[in-house]
Structures are given as C-alpha cells and as structure tokens.
Amino acid sequence: MTSTPTLLKAGWIVTMQPGSPVLTEHALVMDGERIAAVLPWSEAEALYPQAERVELRQHVLIPGLINAHTHSAMSLLRGVADDLALMDWLNNHIWPLEKKWVSEDWTYQGSLLSAAEALRGGVTYLNDMYFFPTAMARAALDAGIRAGVSINVIDFPTGYASGPDDYIAKGLAAYEQFKGEKLLDWTSAPHAPYTVSDETFIKLRQLAETHDLQIHCHIHETQDEVDGSVKQFGMRPLERLHKLGLLSERLMAVHMVHLNEAEIALIAKQGVHLVHNPSSNLKLASGIAPLKALEAAGVNTVLGTDGAASNNRQDMFAEIRAAALLAKGVTGDPLTVSARTALEMATIRAAKAMGRAADLGSLEVGKLADVVAVSLEALECRPVYHADAQLVYVAGREHVSDVWVGGRRVLAKRELKTIDQGALLARADEIVTRMKTER
C-alpha cells in the first residue's frame, strides 16, 4: 500500500453492482484513489488495523451520483425566467441574457456554484454542456468534482464564438489544454437539431470518432421541435441524425420526450443512451419520456437535472424520485421503474453512458473511490426496512453528509472542503446584483 487506507464503517452499503443485495454492517476501504475492499465490519478492522476510521453506522454508502446532463454555469440564471414554454424561454429570455453576460469569469463562477451544489447533493460527476469549456474545467478541478466538459457547438454566433468552426477550434484548444486531467472527460456537443446544420453534425461526429469522445445533444425535447424538423427537412430529427451517422453507442441523447415505437426500436438497436430530465421537462411543459417502453426495448436510460435556469434544482435525488413516480403514474403500473432501477439510472447506467463503466458507477474493488454517505438517522428517515428504496422515496440531498471523489474527502459533515462557500456566494451575489441593475 502506498498510502494510509481509509475505512468507512457503514450501517448499509448499496454497491449498485449488478445482482448485489444491500449490505448491512459492512465497511468500505479506500486506498489512494480506489476501492480496496468491501467487507463485514469485523473482517475489515482485522485486515486494516492501521486504517483511518470514519464511523457511519447510521448511514448508507452509495456510489457518487452522476448528473448526465446539466448546464453548470446557468446556476447564475436560476429563477430568472419561470413558467414559460421552451422556445419562449430560450428566445426571449435565456439567449438574450447569455449574449450580454456570458464570459470566461461568469461561466467559471456559475460552474463553481453548481459544483458546490452538486457535491452537497451527493453528485460526484457533472456532464456539462456550455460555452467557455476552460472555465468549466477550471471550476471542476478547483472543486474536486468530476466533469464531462463539452466542446459545445451551435450554428449562430454568441459572445463565445463567431460560428461553428470557431466553436470547434476553441473547444479543441481547451481539450488539448486539459487533456490528461484525471477528473475531466470531454464530449462532442452539438446543441440540438434545430440549431446545428448537417455539415456541423458531421464534423462533430468525426471529432468524436477521432478523439474517442461521447456525443452529447438535446434531441426530441418538444413536439414543436419534431414538427419543425418535418417541415424543414422532411423527416423527424432522429431520422435525420441517423442518416448523418450520429446514432451509436457514443450518443447521449438528452430529453427524448416525443418518440414513436419505431424510434424507440431504432435507438435500442443502435445502442444510443437516453438522458431523461423529468423535472425540467415537466417545468417547461415539454412532456414525459416514455420510460416503460424504453425499458422494455432495453435502452440505456439515465438521469440528468438540466440546468438551474430550467429546473431550478440541480438535485439528483429529486430526479431519481421523479423518474420512479412519473413512470408509475403515467402507465398505471407500479412495477415500472423500481427504486433499484431509478438508482441505476443515476449510477451504473450513467457511468456506461459516459463510457466510464470500468471505473465508476458502483462500489466495487478496483473502481475509483467516488463514495457518498447518506444519513438515515433523522426521524423523517426512520424506520429503515429497505435502505435502497429509502434513498428513492424518503431521503433527500439534505441527508448527504460526506462525499469522497477518488478517495479525497470533498464534503465532511455537510461542510465543503474544497470550496470557500462564503467567498463563492459573495462573488455570485455581486454578479447577479450587476445583472439585475443593468438589465
């Protein structure tokens, strides 16, 4: 061993390893950045007598949650425009504000605020989509959180770039600058079929293939989007993307609310990962993804919060619960999306979608030690019959007490260890005050 191991002595461990039951009175041992053992208390103490011990007897340990779709910097726009349909929200509120305000520093500060929110909510990985990727990369590294940083492209000019080629060039420069950082992955990220041309989609597909990246894209979010594609291209967005060679195991298709049976069969056949954003889709009145049919077809369906401007909570516990309850409510089938399935969507399935299943998504020996402790000692969390279901239907992000990313403790008893919370909030307030004043 090259370091002093840390022994987390927990009441329950939900490893999320396929087929594994909830473990009671077990310990998880971290050695360096990886998991060294998962053993009963007595065995762990005997084998690791010199380990640093953390007593978590009323806690359940789970893998770090993976937020498979968010726009981190948009935490600075939380609540700026509510109760609107998607295109009204985008065209008349969000895009004008972004054009005026988004910068490297603005993006960094918003991304750091989101990273803090994520860690306090048990999220150890943010799959981001936004401009100024260097800012997101720096924020993630400063916070000690994992991030999928996007080479984000949209066909019209913004304060970040002048056009598709400029977006790609700047994104690739950021990728080269931060390539090799352990906490960072990168994605090729066309915004959406209604904002990206065929030529640009092909370039981004080729970029992903060249650099072995996942592709991260909003698709079939609203019925208007689908109808607009039929009018403009003579086909639905998924058909168009299929013709362009985008439908593969690289693609993380976000939202995917409006799907027919043929499209569900197609994405299952092509291995496309579907990122379900239940709260954002409800708030924008976009609709509800057909989870029962997706599950039946074998589509790898995962969860994201979307950005704080459209949700408005970047709360993965809320998304896990919403995914399970919505699926039951709209189908009339209580067996649709069980508690275990909902947890998989935020852990092991999401790791697969990111291309990181070998290292992340479950608490197994040899995997990276991204570990979250959730306290079940509060009266509102008792009694505990089934710890895994308790995480879905009872506990919330406020019950997350401790978080480790790669064996590093980044949250201890609800206190952020990598971020100065007071300074962060003061800077965010300064930015928002200026935005309100000059709006």
Residue 357, CA distances (Å) to 13, 219, 352, 429 in order: 19, 24, 5, 38
Let me know: does 254 contact 241? Beta carbons within 8 Å: no
Q: Which residue has the tokens 């949209």?
A: 154
* Distance in angstroms (rounded) separating the CA atoms of residues 140 and 119: 11
pLDDT at 1: 42
373-391 burial, b if ≥16 CB within 10 A, otherwise e? bbbbeeeebeebeebbbbb
Number of Cβ atoms within 10 Å of the Cβ of 109: 22
Burial class (CB in 10 A: 0-12, 13-18, 19+), 333: exposed
SS3 content of the chain, % helix, strand, coil (to 5): 45, 25, 35
pLDDT at 2: 54
Classify the phi-psi angles of 16: left when phi > 0, otherwise alpha if psi is within -120 to 50, otherwise beta.
left
Q: Tens of pLDDT along 337-389?
A: 999 999 999 999 999 999 999 999 999 999 999 999 999 999 999 999 999 99
Residue 367, CA distances (Å) to 33, 53, 370, 380, 405 in order: 9, 20, 8, 33, 11
Q: Are strands 6-13 and 146-153 parallel, antiparallel or unpaired?
A: unpaired
From the DSSP assignment, how many helices (H) and strands (E) are in the chain? 17, 16
Let me know: does 205 contact 190? Beta carbons within 8 Å: no
Predicted TM-score (pTM) above 0.85:
yes
Q: Tens of pLDDT along 270-285?
A: 999 999 999 999 999 9
pLDDT at 70: 98
* Distance in angstroms (rounded) separating the CA atoms of residues 339 and 361: 16
**What are the residue ranges in the chain where pLDDT is below 70?**
1-2, 439
Let me know: does 113 contact 126? Beta carbons within 8 Å: no
Residue among 403, 419, 399 nearest 411 (CA): 403
pLDDT at 99: 87
pLDDT at 86: 87
